Chain A
């Protein structure tokens, strides 16, 4: 299925480009995911989503398939698999930047293929809420662009029902030999039916809050600040 979203940030397109092509800067703008490793244009990430009684955890790989500065277009390709269970998610995300002087409009097209539990929440739901999440992403991005602090930009939640608390987990002690240095992930409080969008976003490789700080602090858990933000965002 295809999801279409668009947002505008009050930052020149060259600056947006810089952030968008740096996964460690762009990833923190999306809630609920963890960037696990970066190797050039390839990176790995994980996300855990709880939707009502259903929990879905993915881990997977993503790649910048295209960074076309002339066309101001970025294409990300990502694939993930449930860590428990056999569902999958695959996405190709195209971000098209439109230079508007002091501002930039970003058009995001997501070609998403999911299977398993998350796939069963429905396309209508995905369409409805992806706009909300993208607008949050945009605000966080703008904040990152304007000064790097995300807390001041948290918007008022429009999500209706969730009362779940965020759960921080510890790094896994032992990693399977064939995986990279995985951290366990952050369970974000999501409103009912928000899971697939987050999953999709994660699968698309736009992942993780920790990544940006990983090198600075090596903190394996998300900050209380982030949890508070996410709670307000999605509760």
Chain B
């Protein structure tokens, strides 16, 4: 035994260590990086959704004083060595992704050339002077019309289908004979992560030493480094990525995209560091798309409302240049469609389809269409069967005593109890009270509604490079402790939680622990912030490295105290003799002895640092939650006002409830935006018509009620029982909001099935229904 430590900080609301610098404006984002002689890049982008590039005349741009270079595909693209992404792996047959458009542009915003100039202002001016000779071509902007269209996005895919997959075929006999069958076509609009900080990168190539240094705004510093080395064909040890603060990523910054590739390649060709900072219009126009799915979902029920079968058939828009390979990640929608319910039979089928729009990228719960459609369909079914939607869920939702439970697509649910979060949410809500209030409101001509949404979510999945995470923990010569993990501060408070976990594993006072993250030169490899993995995986890494360092500390203390290692415990930054607490030695003294007086250690190793890699043995950490939302709909204006919002979740034991609640709230608000406001709209010609915040509407404090939290803490299978919390909010909230609206409008016979639920859409449906019944 090497000294047990009781958790002292994990589970508590420790204030965020990030806050001091962020709230005082001292964060360091990529645009804060200044390098001597740094040049600025700006992209020439296509004004057409689809066009042939006949030629590019850069002379006028190059003639502008201060312009250093104009690069086109001919200069940049041949520099690509390898361009695969770790999340997909080296051997997946990837879809095309040239850094700059070659011969043809495929969406409005497609990068065609890069201008490098002495300032951003000059670069922007010069961009306007680059004369690109285009021949416009017909475009297919609407992916629902892309399959079989005469317009072909990529020649290698003549039917515009990137790929697809099917599970078991639907049991049509069952659907034909079941007591209740519901079917609905549900369309989710294109909406996107919209990080507060847009994308950006600074790349500095030092030819003399063959060193490449990158300052990035990224969720994955180490994979950005590995990708850069692969892309440029240079040894990875010569590449260093430095990331301090990232102003939100939400999936958009998981993998380097075409602009990042272009800047890395361009930086090799200029003798100065190059900075590219995306502006907001570029971000909305070019960074990518997500959430855009159209499908038909069905469920069959027995006479009592028990689910007999669930089927989903859908098409997902992958735009022009999806990043990474989109076909496999989309499968998750089909696999998770049965959700947290006792579904005996399930089937799915899908296609991923190219269109002349920006490429699909990840967004917080990329598969959330399964929850959206399932939960909307359950409410529609409940009304059809004549049950309260809460009751229909209650009789179908999985209980803890049924675990492990394999869903019909083979997903092995375990270590969770969806019924517990559901019942907790119902209790916080006061369902009976609400239904009474609703009836009274209706009698007064007011339309208020309640929507539930329950889901089960695979967090911290141990697939590929996501299965492992590294940590280095070092006790410095002062006895203070530094913990080094890949991390990077992308808004998920991982600096705080890592400090908490490290303090606990070492028995240190939290003020004695600091963390250094995001610099690949000093941190071990990790897969970064994605897949709701930071808590379970980083906890594993800290646990492993911490256990080794704890052993080192105890061994030195034992020598100093003349005691057996077994008799020593670590607490309050001291090593204490169990049974004689008067005898102890401080971490500062242990460090002093090791660093400055090792001769006194009688041969005990003075090593006070440990690096370890965690290899997760848990395939998936199943988190789940139930959202409950109430709203009032003004049937004259179509305005929706959310009145209450409840999230009861189980992310396992919480390292820091503030952090969990912050993650849940942030995701929930993004989903509220998706349900009500946000739409990255395109016209028929493929012009983006929401490329500024005038048209792309984000939720603000005005739209969001106080979020009420309920916590269920069922330990997961991994270290500490921690599960992931990053994505769930964004998965659960869209259907809760839509269901609340549909519940409010049920007396009018109106059901929203096409998102977003804008006032105009609501009024249109109310009027249609009124005309139809007249």
| Residues of chain A at the chain B interface (Cβ within 8 Å) | 1, 52, 82, 84-88, 113-117, 119-123, 192-193
Contact = CB atoms under 8 A, between A and B. Distances in A.
A85 B128 contact: yes
Interface stretch (B81-89, B265-273, B626-634, B681-689): B681-689
B695 A122 contact: yes
27 contacts: A1-B683, A1-B684, A1-B685, A52-B694, A82-B47, A82-B128, A84-B128, A85-B47, A85-B128, A86-B44, A86-B131, A87-B47, A113-B685, A115-B136, A116-B47, A117-B47, A119-B108, A119-B683, A119-B685, A119-B687, A120-B687, A120-B692, A121-B689, A122-B683, A122-B695, A123-B683, A123-B689
A88 B47 contact: yes
B595 interface: no
Given A84-B128, A86-B131, A120-B691, A115 B48 contact: yes
B124 to A, nearest CB: 10
Contact of A84 (B48, B129, B132, B136): B129
A114 B687 contact: yes
B5 to A, nearest CB: 56
Contact of B687 (A52, A115, A192): A115
B592 interface: no
Instruction: Tell me the dominant secondary structure on chain B's binding face.
Output: loop
B134 interface: yes
Interface in B245-276: none
Contacts of B690: 122
Contacts of A88: 47, 136
A86 B129 contact: no
B293 to A, nearest CB: 23
Contacts of B47: 82, 85-88, 115-117, 119
Contacts of A122: 681, 683, 689-690, 695
Contact of A115 (B108, B131, B684): B108
B694 A120 contact: no
A192 B131 CA distance: 28
A119 B691 CA distance: 10
Instruction: Tell me the dominant secondary structure on chain A's binding face.
Output: loop
A22 to B, nearest CB: 33
A87 B46 CA distance: 8
A82 B684 CA distance: 21
Given A115-B136, A116-B47, A119-B687, 14 more contacts: A1-B685, A52-B694, A82-B128, A84-B128, A85-B127, A86-B44, A88-B47, A88-B136, A117-B47, A120-B108, A120-B285, A120-B692, A121-B689, A193-B694
Contact of B132 (A52, A86, A114, A192): A86
A194 to B, nearest CB: 13
Contacts of B132: 86
A84 B691 CA distance: 19
A192 B691 CA distance: 14
Interface string B36-59: 000000001011100000000000
A113 to B, nearest CB: 7
Contacts of B44: 86
A84 B129 CA distance: 6
A180 to B, nearest CB: 19
When A and B form their complex, which 9 residue pairs have the shortest distance between CB atoms, in order from nearest? A84-B128, A116-B47, A122-B689, A119-B687, A87-B47, A115-B47, A120-B691, A85-B128, A86-B132
Nearest to B285: A120
B246 to A, nearest CB: 26
Interface string B127-141: 111111010100000
Nearest to B134: A86
Nearest to B125: A84
A57 to B, nearest CB: 9
Nearest to B51: A115
B52 to A, nearest CB: 13
A154 to B, nearest CB: 27
A121 B681 CA distance: 11
Interface in B499-544: none
Contacts of A1: 683-685
Contacts of A120: 108, 285, 687-689, 691-692
A192 B693 CA distance: 13
Contact of B685 (A82, A115, A121): A115
A113 B139 CA distance: 13
Contacts of B691: 120
Interface in B690-737: 690-692, 694-695
B271 to A, nearest CB: 29
Nearest to A85: B128
A83 B624 CA distance: 55
Nearest to B47: A116
Nearest to A88: B47
Interface in B98-157: 108, 127-132, 134, 136
A192 B695 CA distance: 12
B135 to A, nearest CB: 11
Contacts of B134: 86
Contacts of B689: 119-123
B141 to A, nearest CB: 12
